[in-house]
Structure 1
Amino acid sequence: MIRFEDIISRFDGKITEETTLGEAIQYMLHHKWNLVPVTDKGGKLTGVFTRSEMYKMILEEKELTTPIRDAIKTQAFTLQTDTPFEIVEKMVQNSPVGTGVVLNPSGGVAGLFTKTDMVLALLESSNLLKEQMETILQHSPIGVLMTDENSMVTYINDRICEMSGKSPSDLLQINLVCLFPEFAELLQRQNTKGEAEYISLSFPRCKTVAYLTTYQRMGGQKGYIALFHDISELERISLDLETVKNLKRMLETALENAYDGIIMTDKKGRVEMVSPPFLELFNLDKSRIIGRKIDEVLPSLKLTHVFETQMAEFSDFQEENGISYIVHRIPIMQDGVVIGVIGKIMFRHLHEVNNLLKKLQKAENKANFYKKQYKQSESARFSWEHIHSNDPYMEKLKRSAAKAAKGRSTILIRGESGTGKELFAHAIHNGSARCEEKFVEVNCAAIPEDLLESEFFGYEEGAFTGAKQKGKIGKFDLANGGTLFLDEVGDMSLSLQAKLLRVLQEREFYRVGGTTRIKVDVRIIAATNRNLEEMVKNGSFREDLYYRLNVISFRIPALRERPRDIEVLMEVIIEEMNRLLGTSITGISSLARNAFLEYHWPGNVRELKNVLERAMTFAEHGKIKIEDLPEYMNKIESFQTFPAGTLYEESEKKAIQKALLQSRGNKAEAARLLGISRSGLYEKIKKFDITTQSVR
């Protein structure tokens, strides 16, 4: 905004009645002013000396040393420095005087103000306003287009080019109707009504609403302004809002027709939705429960307990008006935080639910039977998804084995007992081109040596005493076209090693007691926990068979060599055992978790699974605790013999730091890993003074 005092011509001289004509002429010529203010000794204005008075004195042939006393005009047009610019503008327009004297608040002369100053100030203001307006229009999200009185486009901003996909040369100096024929009818109405109107206009890149209005041009002529608003985002938001409304209607309809009682709260525990069966069971009025805290209305449901545990839970049987019911408390999670709770009240015909559970048990028993039958069939049961690991070496091993699976070469899998060699063999078969064919397993250590040959190659009728009348086909026959898995291959006798070598080399064999040569196409996957190199040295394993089997070799590391897999496997095994044992274990206490992580696991994954099965069987509170573990792992007594601040607390502190590190600082996730409530975790963090830096 223009300030009046910023545009005046400053007066820094001193012209008095005693000033000579020559001095006044020099001052006026230097500043090119038509008049100069005359002041008294105190600097107060007494009058003005004008150019016309100067000319008169010259014409009268006054000496240049003549004082200007008699030529001073006492009547002068004056203004104050704090006069608003709008008032100054009006005064200048209505005043016949070309120059005015500007006085400061104390009455002293501040300077002069001319109509030229006014014009220059207005011009500067106009240019500034023009620049500001153009900057606003160029950065506006609204497309802007202006025309002259002939509807020829004279101005556009960048946004209209983006919307239309046209360049400035495609728009400027083109008739508006030629560019956008949709405006033809609007222009006609504008000429008659003069009111702003709008139309829908679709561009290739967006959909817009275009507003058309007029503006006054110089000479009284009328131009047009068209504003284009992109409504694509608004339409998307509208669709999202409609989707949310539909979901809300569906949810309300589901609640209205729910068989069980359902109640829903927000993150503060206030009731937001409730179903009619719920109101009927507890004899409540909907208008009196909505918006109230559930703990005030029905504290017996204990729904807000879920905010602390962050886990779904079932209540024991409760009773209302002689009707038994069960409460299923379900947390509503968002970004690891509970933002509400759903309470599902099951009370209608619980005996029917019991009957359904019995039917489900029968179905599970039948499924387990068929599952057992399926396990007994000659097929691979596991794939790469069944091998769970977070260890980089194991992930690399899986990728290498997956590549090897696609070929035909013999594979030797090595590793300690219980590391998962069988899982790798199954996964390799399922990842190969033979996955649709049979996968036949032979445990070389489990079959008596005198029967091992007949198991491998089968036998003909009457081959030996006790043989079946029609003979029997062997594992090589069964696996023809598929894969034969030789587990514990290091326990095979030397005589059978020689026969196995022949089959691997010649791809043919004779059944026991038979004379017919049988050709087979079998891929061999062998596994052992023995040191075959040492066995070759001491002569208990054939060297040529070793090299035939050791074409591609993989060593599966022991569980103690990949400790980060312990927690991964624990979660998977607990989930699997919950289904098999019918348990409801939801987690592991921090002490028990530490015991699992610190144990050396000589029996590897097999031992881990056995220990978890035992602990889940003994667990009584939904979580595995230290006392549920075997004696050789149970260290809780030794911890508790130490006073506060020693080994027990140090172990607890390390467990919390490890959980925070694993959850990347997410305290809700850390509490879940430790098997404690979030409020309990906060107390422990405060107690041990654990900071974010200490867990990095």
Structure 2
Amino acid sequence: MNFSQKLLSRIVDTDFTIVESEQTNNLLAKEIAIGASKKVFQITKAGPQWIKMDDFSQEVVYIPCSTLSVNSTIEDAFLELRNADIALITNTSDQFIGFLTYEVFSNYLFTEYQRAQAYLKTILDTIDESCTVIDQDAKVLYWTKGAEEIFSVKEKDIIGQPITNFFSPERLEILNALKDGKSVYHSQHHARKDLVVMINSKPVYLNEEIIGAVVSETDITSQILLNNELYNTSEKLFILEEEVRKTSPSVNPFSYIKGNSPAIKRTLEIARKAATSDAAVLIYGESGVGKELFAKAIHNLREPENSPFVAINCGAIPSGLFESEIFGYEKGAFSGANQKGKKGKVELAKNGTLFLDEIGEMPLEMQVKILRLLQEKRFYTVGGTKEIEVDFRVVAATNRDLKELISEGKFREDLYYRLNVVNFKVPPLRERPEDIIELTHYFLYELSVKYNRPIHGISQDVMQALLQHTWPGNIRELKNAIERLVAFSENGEIRIDDLPNEMERIPQAAADEQADLPSYQVNTTEQLSLQEQLRVYEKDIILKELSKVDGNKLLCAKNLEITRATLYNRMNKLGIQL
């Protein structure tokens, strides 16, 4: 914290007088001290002194002062004022500009502490996730409303108490952070026999010493169970979904984009709104996040059925061939050209969508022609003399920062504003780890059908490794990893040893804990009808949830995120009696 930024304008007193001479006698000093309406300082060879009248003896006293610069830190001020009750403040030219007392400084620090506590409390009261903070003795300092919801322990009951009074030590990941300085990120953790959470945990350091630990947790138990049951519908549900998509043009085109995380939901909402207009759309996102899927979904939502969707990868076309690929060419336009000529991508996209993928890689000389095309919807083929008029909607995508490219002179600013009417960013997979389980199950079944290799399950250690990986290649990398696992599977079993080499292997949990974890089972041999399977799975989910809460229907309905009336209705239809 810079001294001048945080203190000088607030608490440094500038009402003072400097006596330069060291020869000031006691009589003169007394007159100065008595008559002064402000603090008086004397500069000596030994350092500055504060001249004041002693309240009891009424004699002049000389009190040594510290010196602080406007560039001093809070730590510097604390150390200086600990040894002296007052300090003179100098500017960058070593001129004295004010003074600071220990009392004022202490009051300021206390006020700042109160402000920081107010901010911290508001932050913790605002977040939905469970967040727990413990001190070096494992006593709970902070316990959020999210923690109350997940663990059914009230803040007033746990604050100030050892966390081990409420939870078994072997299930407390936060203790590993406290004792060993171990941090975990997006790790699946078995917090209780019936509870699985996504966990982040870090130690709290002060002066290189661990003084506590913090853990944040998100309950994913229901997500795991629901994904298990949904996955168990296997081939029939998957095939049915594909058939419906083929036969029903009214199906939501965004259904191909998997995930239920808040990040992907926000992105889908923006994309849907973008699809309600003919405006140009610019999609940002790292490689492998699925930008083309979003582009196709926007196209399918706003264009009539059978309208063309023409994609151009601007980074894959050699600059010398770019113009002929985009605009096409007339017969004999250049040596080696097709004798019949060739239509360009723009003409093929007529009355549909032109998707300019990796637009940031487009050669600069082509950007002028693309800008004119977008403005006038007219172009000439290479070697052609007749102007062709064409109507289309444009969607562009990039993994580059276009504004940075503009500043470097590698992208035209006018083209940027033409493309950037509506824009959104597709979040990378590492920012939505809760979607990894759903995407894994989806790809696992899709690829098991492709390779005709029925998969009976995915073990906890494999899923843990998938959740821990940062996925620099995003969804494309995840799908490739799952494809590798399926291709290498034997007898319907997926092995952790078949994960790609760059992925970390997470050791399997102890057998007793592993036995309690929800399994990821896949049954592709069940001969029941789809409707019968769904009834079986629904009944099993409700019975398991009722068992967890000892038959408390209100709590069961709350955990399943349905009303109590809906729960009673489903229990009656499924023949569940308690």
The alignment's TM-score, normalised by the length of structure 2, stands at 0.46
Identify which of structures 1 and 2 has the higher relative contact order when contacts are C-alpha pairs closer than 8 Å and 6+ apart.
2
